[in-house]
Structure formats: C-alpha cells, structure tokens
Amino acid sequence: MAEIHLTQSNWEEEVLNSDIPVLVDFWAPWCGPCRMVAPVVSEIAEEYKGKLKVGKLNTDEEPEIAVRYGIMSIPTLMIFKNGEVVDQIIGAVPKEYLVEKLQQVL
C-alpha cells in the first residue's frame, strides 16, 4: 500500500512539513462510501508516486485531528500544500474530478 497511515504523532512530519503536496483521506470503518472509494485513492497514490503523498486518517482513531479540520462528513479528501489546506472534496466523487483538482495544485 502506497498510502501512509496518519496519526497524531506523524501528522506534523508527514503532512504539515511535507516537501510535496499531500492528499489526506479522512475515513472511518463504518462508512460505506469511504471503503468503496479507497481503491480510487490507492490508484491515485500509485499514479502520482513521488509527486504527491497520500495519507489516510481514521477519524475514529484520531478524533482530535478530525475536529481540528472541521470534518463533519466522510469521506472528505483534503489537499495540503506547504502545511496549508488548499482544497477539499466532500463525499465520493468520480476519479476524473479528483484528478482535475490535483492537477491544479501539482
């Protein structure tokens, strides 16, 4: 798996201090659409290897981070650049749409 398992302890290093843009997938095990979009996120991680970091944050395990970023709906995909949120996508979307959003920041 090319995605990074994000936690409170590696959030700063992997997301905020990353040299390249980061796509964070906020998800939880009970969320059907989250589980079903996971393969798309994996494909993105493979296709953009080296240009984009892809991480997954389980909102169940890390509620503080979810609250900090105002997550009230999952799946939410957030794009970070230089430690800042530059875009977010709420809900399941077509892969094409996600790719389009990514191309704007890469």
Partner 1 sequence: MYDVIIIGGGPAGLTAGLYAARGGLKTLICEEKVFGGQIVMSYEVDNYPGFPKGISGMDLMDNFIKQAEKFGVEMNYDGVKSIEDEGKTKTVTLSSGTKLTTKTIIIAAGASPNKLNCPGEKKFTGKGVSYCATCDGAFFRGKKVAVVGGGDSAIEEALYLANLASKVYIIHRRDQLRAVKILQDRAFSNKKIEFIFNHVVKEIQGDKFVNGVLIENVQTKELSRLEVDGVFIYVGITPNTKFVEDLIKLDENGYIIVNDKMETNIPGIYAAGDIRVTPLRQVLTAAADGAIAASSAQIYIETKC
Respond yes or no: is residue 90 known to be catalytic.
no
| 83 vs 94: CA distance, rounded Å | 26
Contact 78, 23 (CB under 8 A): yes
Taking the complex as a whole, how short is the minimal distance between the CB of residue 30 and partner 1, in angstroms? 6
- Please select the residue that binds partner 1; options are 5, 20, 60, 83, rule is CB under 8 A: 60
**CB 59, min distance to partner 1, A:** 8
- CB 74, CB 26: distance < 8 Å: yes
Range list of H helices, 48-85 = 63-68
Binders of partner 1 in range 66-105 (CB under 8 A): 66, 70-76, 88, 90-96
Residue ranges in 40-59 that form contacts with partner 1 under rule CB under 8 A: 40, 43, 59
Does residue 21 touch partner 1 according to CB under 8 A?
Answer: no
**Residue found under tokens 């709420």:** 90
Two tokens, residue 9: 């302890």
Return d(Cα 42, Cα 29) in angstroms, integer. Answer: 16
What is the binding site for partner 1 (CB under 8 A)?
28, 30-37, 39-40, 43, 59-60, 66, 70-76, 88, 90-96
Q: Give me the active site residues, please.
A: 31, 34
